[in-house]
Amino acid sequence: MKARIKYFWTVFLFIFLSGCGATTDFISHPASSITSRQSDLYTVTLIMAAVIFVIVEGGIIISVTRFRRRKGDTSEPRQNHGNVPLEIIWTAIPLVLVITLFVFTFNTMNAIAAPQPSPNDLKVNVVGHQWWWEFDYPDLGITTADELVIPVDTPVQITLTSGDVVHSFWIPQLAGKTDAVPGQVNHMWINANQPGTFEGQCSEFCGIEHALMRERVVSVSQSDFQAWVSQQQSLPAAPQTDLEKQGQKLVASGVCAACHTINGTNAKAKIGPNLTHLFSRSTFAGASFPLTDANLTSWLKDNQTMKPGNLMGIKVSDSQLGAILAYLKTLK
């Protein structure tokens, strides 16, 4: 029996907590017009369910205590079969409840449907890769990774696909999940009604590092967004010191260029994340690690220990590490 109870709680906690680890829930912290409406619907449903629970469970408790069979009592309980008013009542009440929920749900679905596309919308093409997200802003000529920067209170029209296997794009505080499927384009829209950083997580099992395939949406004011756009559209400052220049040679003409793009250099490959403005981001490798000197050093020296199975697999030797790190830090 004890083992069974333990098993029940393990399964319950697994279901209850799965998918919630890295992210903030949308019910108590909605940050978009979509999740605000979903949170309202959840609250209405929860209150209705709670009232029904108290009434039904209360009725059961009263019945089994007040009307239980007493010692020596062998008579049949009073039978209510065929009581027309009772039959009508317990048919009508659930009907009203279900209709109420239907109306609330229908209204919510209408309210969160994608708005008619407008020229003011931000368009982003999102591509899932094992195990990071590519964000391409077709109208702005910007390609970045892992952190999607958007202006506050602006509809963002997203097209979603995958470069390899099925992934699923999910920022709980902003919108529900949409699959990224290879060879197919899916559409979704998001918006943020407040500035902030909103954590997300790939929510379709996509291989060994599925758990370290995270993403963030960074919502900023209109003016901060314009500043971010001009920064992303310009080239990073040219390397100044000898160490930085040496690092640029190693990165842009060496093995790194086989996978990465750095605008303004010979590195033009699109297998890995675009590094042009790497240090304008605060995380890397699928938004899995804070972008610090220590983490980037560990990554360059032995990324297979940090994120086993990732496709980079390159080990940078100690003699090249200082120069490469110095150069990468100029990519702002």
Rounded Cα distance, 267 and 92, in Å: 69
Name the amino acid, one letter, at 152: V
Cβ proximity to ligand CUA, 12 vs 205, nearer residue: 205
Query: Which residues of this protein are in contact with ligand CUA, per CB under 6 A?
Result: 128, 131, 167, 202, 204-206, 210, 213
Residue pair 148/216 in contact (Cβ under 8 Å)? The answer is yes
Taking the CB of residue 152, how many other CB atoms lie within 10 A of it?
A: 17
Cβ proximity to ligand CUA, 166 vs 325, nearer residue: 166
Cβ proximity to ligand CUA, 16 vs 205, nearer residue: 205
Smallest gap from residue 60 Cβ to ligand CUA (A): 43
CA 129 to chain centre: 15
Cβ proximity to ligand CUA, 158 vs 202, nearer residue: 202
Cβ proximity to ligand CUA, 131 vs 299, nearer residue: 131
Smallest gap from residue 198 Cβ to ligand CUA (A): 18
Smallest gap from residue 15 Cβ to ligand CUA (A): 19
Q: Which residue has the tokens 């008013």?
A: 85
Smallest gap from residue 168 Cβ to ligand CUA (A): 7
Smallest gap from residue 213 Cβ to ligand CUA (A): 4
Cβ proximity to ligand CUA, 128 vs 155, nearer residue: 128
Rounded Cα distance, 62 and 66, in Å: 6
Smallest gap from residue 155 Cβ to ligand CUA (A): 25
Cβ proximity to ligand CUA, 46 vs 208, nearer residue: 208
Residue pair 324/250 in contact (Cβ under 8 Å)? The answer is yes
Smallest gap from residue 166 Cβ to ligand CUA (A): 8
Smallest gap from residue 13 Cβ to ligand CUA (A): 22
Cβ proximity to ligand CUA, 131 vs 327, nearer residue: 131
Cβ proximity to ligand CUA, 156 vs 202, nearer residue: 202
